[in-house]
Amino acid sequence: MHEMSYIARMVSLAVEVANDNNAKKVKSIEVSIGKTSGVMPYYMHKYYPDASRGTILEGAELICNEVPVTALCEECDRKYEPSRENNYLCPHCGGRKAHIIAGKDVVLTNVVIED
């Protein structure tokens, strides 16, 4: 499972943030997971206790937020969420050319610390 490498990276980044802010304790970390990233929140939660063991994050809550896919139509320059219902075409102009601008990354978005 590649989720273990993702959660290890998120833990590392969160520990760095906590250390940079002289935190005594971390209450929670928040991770945004794009729908097309291939990363499953279930496994992030499953591996989090092991990945955070022995760090300032041990016992802190992991919050995973799924980010929907957003595309930018190259024909009309408008954003939309591709779906099966619209055959993944732009619902504004029917355009076929687009690129994904959100929903494919895994990002550490917040670290809640105690001073």
Q: How many structural domains are present in the chain?
A: 1
Paired sense of beta strands 61-67 and 25-34, if any: parallel
Per-residue pLDDT tens for 47-73? 999 999 999 999 999 999 999 999 999
CA-CA distance, 85 to 88, in Å (whole number)?
Answer: 7
Q: What sign for the dihedral angle of Cα 107, 49, 40, 81?
A: negative
Tell me, what CATH number does 78's domain have?
Answer: 3.30.2320.80
- Quote the pTM value: 0.86
Per-residue pLDDT tens for 2-60? 789 999 999 999 999 999 999 999 999 999 999 999 999 999 999 999 999 999 999 99
What domain range includes position 89? 3-114
